[in-house]
Structure 1
Amino acid sequence: MALEPKEESDTIKLGIPQSTDASAVHLLIQNSPPLDTNSLYCNLLQTSHFAKTAIVAKMNNDVVGFVSGYIKPEQPDTYFLWQVVVGEAARGRGLAKRMITALFQRDHFANVRWLETTITPDNKASQRLFESLAEGWQAHIDVRVLFEKEAHFAGQHESEELYRIGPVNP
């Protein structure tokens, strides 16, 4: 159950990001360790070129949440979720789940049946989020290593496990 806003000013609105949101998204990610910070230019591309497959959450016109991803070119029935972030001011409201569900309700996602993302083995919060989505959607979830610590990250980053959820029917 989502928490009700304490005041009208606590209302969180979801929308398609604009390129002018990029710097706020970049700052939100920077202030949300241990998330990997991408370049501001990358966030600009996410909020412009990939805006239809991203979502921004705003409270009092401040960016408090963001989901980025893309529909895989070789698998048009699969959405790859690159990153999800919820700022401290908006935590505890089920916002991450709400943003992802809202994405899948867009017309642009009409043919998408699978959700993929990668999660490191120590990221229990993200694991719970995606397991909860799968359960709520009554979808199957498969987990396997996609990128290995040594082979892909030269030992500089933990392995990334692929979570494949579907078929999706939010």
Structure 2
Amino acid sequence: MTKATILFILKKNVFLTILGGGIILNSGNGVMTKTKEQEEGLGFRKPTKDDGAEVWELIKHTGVLDLNSSYSYLMWCEIFSETSIVVEREGTIVGFISGFIHPDQLDTLFIWQVAVDESERGNGLATRMLYELLKREGCEEVNYVEATVSPSNTASQQLFKGLAKKLRTKCVIHDYFTSNDFPSEGHEDERLFKIGPIQKEKILVEG
């Protein structure tokens, strides 16, 4: 899926070009302003296996996400890069989302983990990462986003409810995994959040 380009004439010789990755103002004399991400020093990209160790450290330092083996993050960054994303600031990873296309629901992007460094929280970075993922070629057929969230994880609940509100669509919540499904005591229930259907035009213009 190619990035949509929408051109608006604001006034004489001033154009607003909306690309998939941001907004650029062109004064007509060849001067282009930077995208929002460039101004903030943030870089959004697909992960590679070289990011696995740093992603593991990011997950560890969140203090709230389940920390899986370092191998699992190496594998995820290598095999599921098309449906995952990292965000860098000055060469340091400050954001990560792991996701995959549901094998039984090919129109559904399942989000496994969302991590944002403490220094970047409160700026809507998680939502922006989700938008960037949904604009990917690998998510061209995606109409729904799913994720499991524990009752105490209010930040993730707000993230996915906020995504549904921003996209003007539904957020349906179901029971999914119970605490008894997990091998160790103390793990909370996990409820399934399903967001959609999604209108891709909103993502291309608003994201």
Which aligned runs of 4 or more in structure 1 are off by greater than 3 angstroms?
151-156
In structure 1, C-alpha distance between the alignment counterparts of 2:187 and 2:181, rounded to whole Å: 11
In structure 1, C-alpha distance between the alignment counterparts of 2:121 and 2:189, rounded to whole Å: 27
2:72 counterpart of 1:21: no
Deviations 1:109-163, CA, capped at 9 Å, x for gaps = 1101010000001111111111100001111111011000124455430000000
In structure 1, C-alpha distance between the alignment counterparts of 2:185 and 2:174, rounded to whole Å: 19
Task: Report percent identity of matched pairs.
Answer: 37
- Residue identity in the other structure for 1:62: T
1:154-165 correspondence runs (5 A): 155-165=185-195
1:7-156 correspondence runs (5 A): 10-153=40-183, 155-156=185-186
| Alpha-carbon shift at residue 93 of structure 1 (Å) | 1.7
Secondary structure of residue in 2 paired with 1:138:
coil
Number of residue pairs aligned between Structure 1 and Structure 2? 165
- Residue identity in the other structure for 1:23: A
Secondary structure of residue in 2 paired with 1:31:
helix
Q: Which runs of 5+ in 2 are unaligned?
A: 1-35
Query: Max radius of gyration: which structure?
Result: 2
TM-score by length of 2: 0.76
In structure 2, C-alpha distance between the alignment counterparts of 1:54 and 1:44, rounded to whole Å: 12
Q: Which runs of 5+ in 1 are unaligned?
A: none
